[in-house]
Chain A
Amino acid sequence: MSRDLVEDERALTPAIGKALELGIVVLFVGVLTTALYGGAVPEYRDVVGGEVGDRAIVAAAERVENAVPPRVSDVRTVHSVDLPRSIRGENYGIAVENRTLVLDHPSPAVDARARLALPDRVNSVDGAWRSSDDTVVLVTDGADGLHVELATREQLGGE
């Protein structure tokens, strides 16, 4: 009995086996990645972005409140404010609306606001920040009270 060249399909077994394994693993990785990035990961990023946004706005509000000096005249103070560079991977802005700091972020999941508790001698609050800026709070004295402004270091000429 000659062993060579007998018609037999067993030679393909390892090849088909490996191909099957490969296919199954690729399919598995694909399904897992889709499941994670299609559902869990964006949801987590939203939740974490929301939390970070809340904390960032609260920290900024406290910084603005602390920047207001005691009752003095002829005052001009500049306090720097540390903001997270980005939230949920994107830059954002902070604006003032009616004595409320409002976080302005491209993602609707990140939304935070904080009302400012300021003494009566503060007359007005305005200005805006971008997270990419070197942000500061500028407090100046006006005829009818203190003026609080959200500004950047560049606007003040590197003061």
Chain B
Amino acid sequence: MSSRRAQANLLSLAVALTALVSAATLGLVVADGALAGADRDPGQRRAAGAVAERLVSAEATTVRENVLDGEVIADLSVATIAELAPPAANRSIRVQLGEETLFERGDPTGATVERVVLVAERTTRSRSAAVGDGDDLTLPRRTDRVELTFAAGSTVETVRVNGRIVLHDSGGLAGQFVIEPSRYETATLRFEGGTAQVGIESTPLRTEKATLRVTVDD
């Protein structure tokens, strides 16, 4: 009997070691899980961010900062995207404006970046008016470019925009002129010195809010 009792505590040692092995294995499993959870692709998010950022700030695609040029943005190409944002080259990518998909390559399901932007469309408004000395004419929408065409026989000497003289010819203005009023205030044209038949063509920007959504995958 005594010989069997001799190394009895080796048994408890074996149990203890088994417990330790289980704990270590559990630790490795948890560490594996944590690593798998931390495995993100920051490059993907960056590519999406870079495309969105460049689209709303590059001169090629915007009218001014955060105002997209509607015409340019409507036909985006692979080359434009690659030139604007090199990180997105060779990745599948989708660019959406509101519900409309502007550009798509592959079927990306990865990181998505959204930006609220304005989309501008340049519209042209033409009108013709007979003006006399001291007549005021207010342009209906703000614009930064107005083209005035004075018909032959015009005797108008001075044109003011909001009180400031922009055109003057004591012999009578005739022909075509481009004036650039501030786009931050409504422009009122004032004609002085005579009468004329004037063609007025203004190109106001019509802007709409929209959400630009860029999705990028590997």
Contacts and interface: CB of A to CB of B under 8 A. Distances in A.
Interface centre among B24, B40, B85, B87 (most CB of A within 10 A): B87
Main secondary structure on B side of the interface with A: helix
A65 interface: yes
B31 A44 contact: yes
Contact of A117 (B6, B13, B38, B87): B87
A20 B9 CA distance: 10
Contacts, number: 73
Interface residues of A, number: 30
A2 interface: no
Main secondary structure on A side of the interface with B: helix
Nearest to B41: A54
Interface stretch (B42-50, B134-142, B147-155, B184-192): B42-50
A3 interface: no
Given A21-B10, A21-B13, A65-B50, A117 B86 contact: yes
A10 B43 contact: no
A114 B58 contact: no
A156 to B, nearest CB: 27
B35 interface: yes
A114 B49 CA distance: 13
A96 to B, nearest CB: 13
B57 A24 contact: no
A89 B9 CA distance: 43
A51 B38 contact: yes
A44 B35 contact: yes
A76 interface: no
Interface in A20-45: 20-21, 24-25, 28, 32, 36, 40, 44
Interface size class of B (residues with CB under 8 A): 35 or more
Interface string A43-59: 01001100100110010
Nearest to B2: A10
B86 A116 contact: yes
A13 interface: yes
B35 A117 contact: no
A40 B28 CA distance: 8
B39 interface: yes
Contacts of A85: none
Nearest to A39: B28
Contacts of A21: 9-10, 13
B54 interface: yes
A20 B12 CA distance: 13
A62 interface: yes
Given A44-B35, A51-B38, A62 B58 contact: no
B74 interface: no
Contacts of A24: 10, 13, 17
Interface of B: 2, 6-7, 9-10, 13, 17, 20-21, 24, 28, 31, 35, 38-43, 45-46, 49-51, 53-54, 57-59, 65, 84-87, 89
The 7 tightest CB contacts between A and B, nearest first, are A117-B50, A115-B86, A58-B42, A117-B85, A58-B46, A115-B87, A55-B42
6 contacts: A47-B39, A58-B45, A114-B46, A115-B86, A117-B53, A119-B58
